[in-house]
């Protein structure tokens, strides 16, 4: 056997040994047969198995597999056992054929170089098969079954003659829940960024924000998870990340958006809009009014309308209904519509092909003069745009609601569980501090300069929510004003306030280096003064926030100054906010370094939002899990659950 064909065998054996060493159990699998196929003895007799093997290998790597895993994790919480959660209509479940073919040819060229031979095209004939994922099925206990398959020939994923694939290889994965802070801004009932500064991401593990190019990274995702909740961007400042909404997305006079727009409702870009660097996809309609540009593609289940202002689309446009350029506007790519394509005045232009049952113009001219490519009078059968955000549901198998810390596991911990876990600890009553320059220090041993407060309850465990024991002080209400100084020191502290928290005036609230603070409140939270974190990073070494606010207050949808959580201070806020029943109003002039999840999120004032990517490693609310996929078993055919 040639040495080059042994490499696949060695790779798979190494992978299997590594998997077993990491604690996974490979069951229900004919190892000898799998090794034989990888070694090259079997692949050349079965195109389908070649595709399935390639799909599995690619699923285990970065890129194509990661994209599918992200979609699956987003759908896992609201689905029942046995549900096919991937693919849905419009999902691309095949490895791109061009990429598959190029990789096969690269491998063959490598063999030629190694062996100093001319090569044999027959040796790679079976590498030119299509590879893909047939389906991902939800199992019990946070597990899924991924079925890989292949088909006989490469194609464009829609051509006649390529047929369906055959499922050959099944893999069982356990999906550990991602932590509470996977996105920059999450408003369960909407996000309104009418003011504020730049919204971007950085990684505190690489140093301070905006030092050594540690900033303006594009992982500051903005999300709304309710069909009644819109995402509105009109601050005039750039956004570095994707924007996803179960409702609408409205962009007006925003800065450049360095990401994709994805909505289950309509997407409207108006009044000059923005330069959208990614793609735009909607389960509803897409409308560009009075300008704006999209560098990527536009896809919609409803109409796509480009109406005036010199709007420009750099990629392709596809609609399951109609595409209309009612006034000036340009589409540089191809246009496909299942009903009709309509151009308007002379300033409307399609540079590529136009494919639809009807292609016409509202002007007194030949529509061919406004189409640079071919006009194809046929239905392109544009695929349905899949839902990108599933509205939270409450059910036996589904995730509870917005109040859950995670969205990828069944029956995950919620803000209610946190309150229940702390409710049994006795309160020291209300505490009001202010006046003078008095400093009050809260440590696990008690509160200095005050004899009205009981010592904190030490080493309290909050199973499934906080990854480490904490020291808890319980109050009815808490206020800090005047020029008083309040310092948290000596370890991890939790301040549980059953009523309201008000930090204002000239007071200063600080968390010392090496310490951390969790603020849990059932009342309103108002921060009008400085809340300082001595650490340069908002997170500890495990990605968990040093300062975190958890609000169980229900403000009944209030906004602005009446919101349940008000951040109006002029200094930086380095931490996280979790308030599923309250509007979070970020209206100060200081920046926020961390992440926010609220019933609604409003960004006003001049504050920039800088998402710390280290929060992706947070285990808050996950019972210690880290959000990874763990391979538990491989089998042929349907496999075992």
Write a three-state SS string for 262-283. EECCCEEEECCCCEECCCEEEC
Q: What are 69-75's contacts with CB under 8 Å, separation 24+?
A: 69/629, 72/136, 72/144, 72/175, 73/175, 73/178, 73/407, 73/408, 74/388, 74/389, 74/390, 74/407, 74/408, 75/390
Q: What's the pLDDT band for 623 if we cut at 50, 70, 90?
A: low
**How far apart (Å, rounded) are the C-alpha atoms in residues 75 and 137?**
11
pLDDT > 70 in the chain, percent: 78
**What pLDDT does 542 receive?**
82
Among 216, 314, 214, 306, residue whose Cα is nearest residue 267: 306
- In our burial notation (b when 16+ CB lie closer than 10 A, e otherwise), range 487-520 reads bbbbbbbbbbbbbbbbbbbebbbbbbeebbbbbb
Task: Select the more confidently predicted residue: 521 or 407.
Answer: 521
Inter-residue contact 165 to 135 (CB < 8 Å): no
Q: What's the pLDDT band for 12 if we cut at 50, 70, 90?
A: very low
pLDDT for 346 beyond 90:
no
Task: Select the more confidently predicted residue: 412 or 350.
Answer: 350
Q: Note the pLDDT tens digit of each residue in 222-263.
A: 999 888 889 999 988 999 999 999 999 999 887 899 999 999
pLDDT for 522 beyond 90:
yes
Q: What's the pLDDT band for 306 if we cut at 50, 70, 90?
A: very high
**What pLDDT does 114 receive?**
55
Could you give the C-alpha distances from 88 to 137, 220, 445, in angstroms and in order?
12, 26, 55
Q: Looking at 61-65, 275-279, 510-514, 625-629, which range is the least confident one?
A: 625-629
Q: What's the pLDDT band for 22 if we cut at 50, 70, 90?
A: very low
Burial of 375 from C-beta contacts in 10 A (0-12 / 13-18 / 19+): middle
Task: Select the more confidently predicted residue: 108 or 128.
Answer: 108
pLDDT for 395 beyond 50:
no
Task: Select the more confidently predicted residue: 109 or 259.
Answer: 259
pLDDT > 90 in the chain, percent: 49
Q: What's the pLDDT band for 530 if we cut at 50, 70, 90?
A: confident
pLDDT for 486 beyond 70:
yes
State how beta strands 547-551 and 573-586 pair: parallel
**What pLDDT does 8 receive?**
38
pLDDT for 413 beyond 70:
yes
**What pLDDT does 498 receive?**
98
The DSSP output letter for 579 is E
Inter-residue contact 546 to 533 (CB < 8 Å): yes
Q: What's the pLDDT band for 364 if we cut at 50, 70, 90?
A: confident
**What pLDDT does 357 receive?**
98
**What pLDDT does 589 receive?**
84
Inter-residue contact 13 to 32 (CB < 8 Å): no
**How far apart (Å, rounded) are the C-alpha atoms in residues 546 and 390?**
31
Task: Select the more confidently predicted residue: 623 or 327.
Answer: 327
Average pLDDT along the chain: 82
Q: What's the pLDDT band for 93 if we cut at 50, 70, 90?
A: confident
pLDDT for 574 beyond 60:
yes
pLDDT for 531 beyond 60:
yes
pLDDT for 475 beyond 90:
yes
Task: Select the more confidently predicted residue: 272 or 217.
Answer: 217
CA angle 317, 318, 321 (to 5 degrees): 130
Q: Which of 361-370, 459-468, 576-585, 620-629 is most confident?
A: 576-585
pLDDT for 435 beyond 60:
yes
Please compute the mean of the pLDDT values over residues 398-425 and round it to a whole number: 76
- The helix (H) or strand (E) run that includes residue 501 is strand 501-503
pLDDT for 535 beyond 70:
yes
Task: Select the more confidently predicted residue: 47 or 617.
Answer: 617
Inter-residue contact 399 to 407 (CB < 8 Å): yes
Which residue intervals of 333-453 are DSSP H helices?
415-422
Residues with Cβ within 8 Å of 602's Cβ and at least 6 positions away in sequence, in order, are: 191, 192, 193, 194, 559, 560, 563, 583, 584, 585, 586, 587
Inter-residue contact 132 to 93 (CB < 8 Å): yes
Task: Select the more confidently predicted residue: 79 or 558.
Answer: 558
Among 262, 276, 267, residue whose Cα is nearest residue 313: 276
Among 606, 610, 565, 567, residue whose Cα is nearest residue 589: 606
pTM given for the model: 0.77
**What pLDDT does 627 receive?**
54
**What pLDDT does 336 receive?**
98
Q: Note the pLDDT tens digit of each residue in 176-222.
A: 656 788 899 999 999 999 888 899 999 999 999 989 899 999 999 99
Q: What's the pLDDT band for 502 if we cut at 50, 70, 90?
A: very high
**What pLDDT does 284 receive?**
97
Burial of 45 from C-beta contacts in 10 A (0-12 / 13-18 / 19+): exposed
Domain layout of the chain by residue ranges: 3-176+629-636, 257-376, 415-584
**What pLDDT does 122 receive?**
41
**What pLDDT does 110 receive?**
63
Q: What is the largest CA-CA distance in the chain?
A: 88
Among 433, 439, 446, residue whose Cα is nearest residue 491: 446
**What pLDDT does 154 receive?**
52
**How far apart (Å, rounded) are the C-alpha atoms in residues 212 and 524?**
39
């Amino acid at each position: 056997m040639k040495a080059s064909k042994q490499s696949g065998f060695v790779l798979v054996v190494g992978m299997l040994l590594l998997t077993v060493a990491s604690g996974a159990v490979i069951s229900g699998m004919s190892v000898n047969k799998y090794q034989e196929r990888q070694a090259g003895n079997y692949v050349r007799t079965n195109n389908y198995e070649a595709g399935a093997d390639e799909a599995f290998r690619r699923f285990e790597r970065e890129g194509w597999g990661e994209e599918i895993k992200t979609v699956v994790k987003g759908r896992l919480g609201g689905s029942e056992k046995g549900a096919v959660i991937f693919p849905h209509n419009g999902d691309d479940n095949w490895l791109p054929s061009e990429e598959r073919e190029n990789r096969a040819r690269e491998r063959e060229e490598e063999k030629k170089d190694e062996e100093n031979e001319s090569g044999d095209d027959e040796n790679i004939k079976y590498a030119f098969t299509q590879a893909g994922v047939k389906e991902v099925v939800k199992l019990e206990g946070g597990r899924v079954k991924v079925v890989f398959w292949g088909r006989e020939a490469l194609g464009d994923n829609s051509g006649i003659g390529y047929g369906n694939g055959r499922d050959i290889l099944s893999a069982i994965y356990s999906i550990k829940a991602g932590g509470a802070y996977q996105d920059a801004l999450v408003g369960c009932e909407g996000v309104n960024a009418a003011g504020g500064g730049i919204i971007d991401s950085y990684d505190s593990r690489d140093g301070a924000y905006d030092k050594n190019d540690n900033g303006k990274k594009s992982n500051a995702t903005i999300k709304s998870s309710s069909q009644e909740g819109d995402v509105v961007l009109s601050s005039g400042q750039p956004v570095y990340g994707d924007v996803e909404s179960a409702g609408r997305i409205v962009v007006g006079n925003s800065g450049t958006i360095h990401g994709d727009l994805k909505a289950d409702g309509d997407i409207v870009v108006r009044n000059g809009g923005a330069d959208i660097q990614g793609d735009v996809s909607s389960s509803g309609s897409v409308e560009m009014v009075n300008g704006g540009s999209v560098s990527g593609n536009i896809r919609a289940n409803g109409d796509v309308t480009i109406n005036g202002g010199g709007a420009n689309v750099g990629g392709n446009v596809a609609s399951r209904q109609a595409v209309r350029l009612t006034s000036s506007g340009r589409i540089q790519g191809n246009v496909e519509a299942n009903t009709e394509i309509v151009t308007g005045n002379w300033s409307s232009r399609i540079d590529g092909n136009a494919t639809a049952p009807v292609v016409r113009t509202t002007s007194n001219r030949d529509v061919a003069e406004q189409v640079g490519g071919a006009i194809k009078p046929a239905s392109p059968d544009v695929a349905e745009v899949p839902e990108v955000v599933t509205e939270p549901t409450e059910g036996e198998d589904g995730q509870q609601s917005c109040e859950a810390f995670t969205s990828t596991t069944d029956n995950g911990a919620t803000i209610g569980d946190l309150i229940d876990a702390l409710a049994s600890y006795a309160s020291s009553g209300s505490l009001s501090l202010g006046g003078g320059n008095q400093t009050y220090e809260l440590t696990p041993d008690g509160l200095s300069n005050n004899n009205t407060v009981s010592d904190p309850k030490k080493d309290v465990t909050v199973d499934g929510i906080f990854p480490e024991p904490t020291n808890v002080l319980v109050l009815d209400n808490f206020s800090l004003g005047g020029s008083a100084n309040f310092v948290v020191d000596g370890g991890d502290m939790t301040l549980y306030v059953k009523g309201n928290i008000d930090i204002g005036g000239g007071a200063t609230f600080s968390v010392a280096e090496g310490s951390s603070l969790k603020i849990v409140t059932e009342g309103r939270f108002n921060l009008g003064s400085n809340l300082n974190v001595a650490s340069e990073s908002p997170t500890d070494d495990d990605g968990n926030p040093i300062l975190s606010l958890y609000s169980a207050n229900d403000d009944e949808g209030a906004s602005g100054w009446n919101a349940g959580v008000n951040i109006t201070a002029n200094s930086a806020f380095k931490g996280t906010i979790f308030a599923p029943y309250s509007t979070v109003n970020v209206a100060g002039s200081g920046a926020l370094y961390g992440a926010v999840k609220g019933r609604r999120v409003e960004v006003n004032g001049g504050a920039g939002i800088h998402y710390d990517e280290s929060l992706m490693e947070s285990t808050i609310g996950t019972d210690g899990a880290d959000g990874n996929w763990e391979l538990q078993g491989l089998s042929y055919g349907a496999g075992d659950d």
